[in-house]
Structure 1
Amino acid sequence: MSIRQISLIGAPTDIGAGARGASMGPEALRVAGIAATLAAHGLEVADRGNLAGPANPWLPPEGGYRHLAEVTAWNQAVHDAMLAELRADRLPILLGGDHCLGLGSISAVARHCRERGRKLRVLWLDAHADFNTSALTPSGNLHGMPVACLCGHGPQALVEMSGAVPAIDPKWVRQIGIRSVDPGEKRFVHEVGLEVFDMRFIDEHGMRHAMELALATLDANTHLHVSFDVDFLDPDIAPGVGTTVRGGPTYREAQLCMEMIADTGRLASLDVMELNPALDLRNQTAELAVDLIESLFGKSTLMRA
C-alpha cells in the first residue's frame, strides 16, 4: 500500500562535499515547486522546514576525513528527523545537501525496517559509487563514502548510527548510472559484491532491463528507499551539481527509471541530493529534479493497467 502522507525535510549543508553550494539545494527545490507538484497528485505534503547543524569550516582532511565531527552532527540530525517521520507512517523526502547525508537518512530507514521486521532495498542513483574509505579516498570528502559507511566501513560514529553494524548489507543495494569510480574504490566494490548497473550496462542492455533487475524480488514486506544524487543525470540536462560526469542517463532514460520505481508501489522514503544552485542555469536542474520526483509519485503519460 502506497503512503499518501509526505514530509519534506531540508538539510542545507555542503559539509561533506568538495565544492560549496549544495547547502542551497533545499530552497531551490522549494522554488521549483516540489510541495505543490506532489500535492497536485492527491498527496498530503508537510514541509518540516530545514534542519540545523554546524557551519562548514572548509578545512583540510584530518586522518583521511574532512569535517568528520560536523558531518556526524548533520547526519545525526537527519537520522532523527527521518526516523520520526517513518515512525509516524509518513514518507520522508530528504532535500539535500550533499550526499554524505544519505548515511543518516538510510541509517534511519534501516533502523525503522529492523523495528518493523521489514526487508530493505536501496536504489542508489548516482554517477559515483560513494564507496570510498579514509584509506582509499583521494580527497577526504565524506560525500564519497556514505555507502561504505552504511556497509560498516568507516569511522565508528558514522557506522554505528543506525544502532547496528553494519547498518545494511551490500546485497540490499542496487547502484544505477555509475560512471566514475576511483581505482582503489573499484576493487573494494568488487570485493564486497555490490550490485552495480553502470552506464556501460545501461548502454548495452537498456534502462528497462537494468531497472527490472534492480527491482526484482520486491514484495509487500519490502521498504524501497531511493537515494537520488542529481549528478546521476547527464550534465547536459542537469548542470547544477558540483561533481558532473559526462555520459549519464538522458531525460527519457531517467523518466523510465522513475516510472518503473513508481510502478512497484513500494517507494517508502527518498533522498534528493547534491543539487547545487550556484552552478545551475536559471534553476533548470531543480525543475528537472522536481519533474522526475513527480514521476516517482505516479505522473505518467497514459493510464496504465
Structure 2
Amino acid sequence: MTKSVLIARSAGFCFGVKRAIAIADETAGKGEAGGGKGAPIQSLGPIIHNPQAVERLQEKGVRVVETVDEISCGKVIIRSHGVTRSDRAALEGKGVMIVDATCPFVTKAQEHARTLSRDGYAVVVVGDPNHPEVKSIISYIEKGAPVFTSIAEVAAAKGVRKAGIVAQTTQSFDNLMAFVAAAMKRFPEVRVFNTICNATALRQQESTGLAGMADVMFVLGGYNSANTRRLAEICKAINPRTHHIETEGELTPSMVEGASVAGVTAGASTPQWIIDGFLEGLKELWKCDTIEVSFYR
C-alpha cells in the first residue's frame, strides 16, 4: 500500500532564525572572543527556541546564560528575540563585545513601539507579555506611555485618546485583528503597524490547508517555541489527530496507525536536520514498499 507524506514548503527555519544561527556559528568558528584566545562566547538566553539546535551550539563553545550578571568578559550574542534596552545598556557598560543576532523584524517592531510612544500614543503590544521578544519590544516604549498587552486592558482603558498597535512577530493575524477591533471601539484614533513576519503568516496558512488533507498531522519543533505551539493549536483545531513533537525519537506506532497520508510542518526555529530525521523515523514505522514525499503549498 502506498503511503504519502506532505511537507509544508515553508516548514523550518525562517529568515531571522537562519541568520541568528549563521551569526552564532561564525562567532563560534573564529575561536577567539573579546580579543583574547579562549575567552568565553555566551548567548543571553537561548539563541533560538529549539533545544537541539542550542545544544549543538553549546558543543561548539556557545554557552547560554540567563542574566547579564553572569557575564564578565568575552563575546555576547544577542539572540534572535532581542534583549531589553536595559540589558543592552548593561552589556555595553561591561565593555564586552556584543554580537547582535536580533531578527530584523523584531528590531522593526521595537522601533515602531518607541516611535509611537514618543509621538504621544499609548502602545498596544499584541503577544505574550512573558515572551522575551515582547519584553524587548515593551522596553523600547518611552517611560510614562500607557502600555496594554491584553484585550481586557484595552477595553478598560480610560483617558486615552490615541493608541498605536504593534505585534509580536509570530502572532496570528486573527489575534492582531481582534486587538485592532477592540482598540477601534475604545480609542478615537488608532494607528496599526502589522509587525507579524510574512513567514509566520505563510507557515500558518500552509499548515491550515495541510491539516485538512492529512490523516495525521505532525508539528515539529521545541516545546518552548511559541510559534511552534501556535502551529500545533491551529492544526489541532482542524485535525484532532495532530501531534506536536520535538524529534523523531517521540514517534510511536500508534501515532500513524491506520493513516495513509501524513502532514508535516515545523516551527520557525526547527532545523532541517530534525525534519529529515523525522522523515526517516516515519519511514521506519510505516515499513511499506512505496512512500511518496512531496511539498505542499
* Structure possessing the higher radius of gyration over alpha carbons: 2
TM-score (norm: length of structure 2): 0.31
Greater strand share, structure number: 2
